[in-house]
């Protein structure tokens, strides 16, 4: 199959590289000339484990290429995937579909034969109808079908997720298009993933429903964590206790500083707006968003509580370990570290930061912080360490060395990666999330 992938960002690049690894001929298109030039020279615009090697291998095998010429790639393609960004629209929370619609207009002007146009971008219900209308308006004689095929990739594990998916959702009522997409995914048939063939609008809604449900689990366990702290219970054991119920499951039941990233914040907002526009308000999702927004800044109060809880951290040096919204990515979009750091600065704290991968991206969004070379450099002379992202590098820090180089021995562990007993044995005051709190430092 000849595939044109419009958009060489996270979804487009990973999907294009994986499709080419299946044996398809793939061209990734992007109007960012600098990005395409970098990709041609082997430089990745994102950090994703294994991606650079996958791209290099398929480029060398001449199955994967990069270009800025959309018209040529689309004219030669059997399938065109639209994998452009759909960020929250500034001011109202609706998904910004301008990039999707621009791609549709360009596709309409380039189609030369029957082509399956697939929206892989996360889009609100009914977007496929508008994409079809735009293409038809641009090229009334074009032969094409518009299909919804949402992605379900986790940053940091995207290649494995693509090649070993939990499910593949294909939204179309066009038999010809269904046959083409089935052929595109034929290499996965040996893995026997569940394939849901449904209508286009159902496929579009499935993506938003999935992300919003996972976000709900996170918000729920975070509120249980708050209650656990008040009553002297342990949220980790609560999560295990309910997670053994296979109707609930153990995933996404890890209490922490709230969800962030490129998907959950914008997708929950977009789903809320869709509900409001269709007079079907989603009260649970609305509450999830509100709880999560409040939680990120509330974590700063947890840090202040470690020093007595008066809300004044003036003169305190705080070492923040982990800046990206999750490990194994450099993604800083809606990362919990950002509002946490802002709130700590508002309390008067001086902030030192370190992240194994995310420092270049963090420099674009953080101000008035000291960027450090390592976790130990970050902790030097600090009054407290705050663990925000659970990078593997932070799970086995030398507590004896930290105690020797810090001004005061305080650890605020927002990911519960340490045992309170172990940390306190080394003379630290320890503060976790949803576990019985020690006395204030």
Q: Could you give the residue numbers annotated as active site?
A: 263
Contact (Cβ atoms closer than 8 angstroms) between residue 300 and residue 248: no
Interatomic CA distance for residues 299 and 344, integer angstroms = 9
CA angle 431–436–440, rounded 5-degree value: 50
């Amino acid at each position: 199959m000849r595939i044109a992938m419009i958009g060489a960002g996270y979804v487009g690049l990973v999907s294009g590289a994986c499709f080419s690894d299946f044996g398809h001929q793939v061209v990734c298109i992007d109007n960012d000339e600098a990005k395409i030039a970098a990709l041609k020279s082997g430089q990745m615009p994102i950090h994703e484990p294994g991606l650079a090697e996958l791209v290099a291998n398929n480029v060398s095998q001449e199955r994967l290429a990069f270009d800025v010429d959309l018209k040529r790639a689309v004219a030669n393609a059997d399938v065109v995937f639209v994998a452009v960004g759909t960020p929250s629209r500034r001011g109202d929370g609706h998904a910004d579909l301008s990039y999707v619609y621009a791609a549709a207009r360009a596709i309409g002007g380039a189609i030369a034969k029957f082509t399956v146009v697939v929206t892989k971008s996360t889009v609100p219900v009914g977007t496929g109808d508008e994409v079809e209308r735009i293409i038809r308006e641009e090229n009334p004689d074009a032969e094409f079908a518009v299909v919804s095929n949402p992605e379900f990739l986790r940053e940091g594990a995207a290649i494995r997720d693509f090649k070993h998916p939990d499910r593949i959702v294909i939204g179309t009522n066009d038999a010809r298009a269904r046959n083409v997409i089935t052929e595109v995914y034929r290499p996965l048939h040996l893995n026997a993933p569940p394939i849901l063939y449904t209508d286009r609008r159902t496929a579009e809604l499935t993506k938003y429903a999935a992300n919003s449900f996972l976000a709900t689990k996170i918000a729920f366990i975070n509120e249980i964590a708050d209650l656990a702290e008040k009553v002297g219970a342990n949220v980790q054991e609560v999560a295990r206790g309910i997670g053994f119920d296979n109707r609930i499951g153990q995933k996404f039941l890890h209490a922490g500083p709230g969800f962030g990233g490129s998907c959950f914040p914008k997708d929950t907002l977009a789903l809320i707006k869709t509900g409001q526009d269709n007079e079907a308000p989603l009260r649970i999702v609305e509450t999830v968003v509100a709880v999560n927004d409040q939680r990120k800044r509330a974590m700063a109060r947890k840090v202040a509580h470690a020093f007595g809880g008066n809300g004044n951290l003036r003169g305190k040096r705080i070492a923040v370990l982990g800046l990206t919204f999750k490990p194994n990515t450099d993604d800083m979009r809606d990362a919990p570290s950002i509002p946490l750091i802002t709130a700590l600065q508002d309390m008067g704290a001086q902030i030192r930061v370190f992240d194994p991968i995310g420092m270049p991206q963090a420099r674009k969004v953080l101000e008035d912080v000291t960027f450090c070379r390592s976790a130990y450099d970050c902790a030097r002379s600090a009054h407290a360490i705050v663990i925000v992202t659970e990078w593997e590098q932070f799970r086995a820090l030398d507590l004896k060395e930290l105690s020797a180089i810090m001004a005061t021995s305080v650890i605020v562990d927002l990911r519960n990666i340490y045992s309170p007993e172990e940390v306190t044995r080394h003379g630290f005051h320890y503060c976790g999330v949803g576990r019985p709190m020690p006395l204030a430092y």
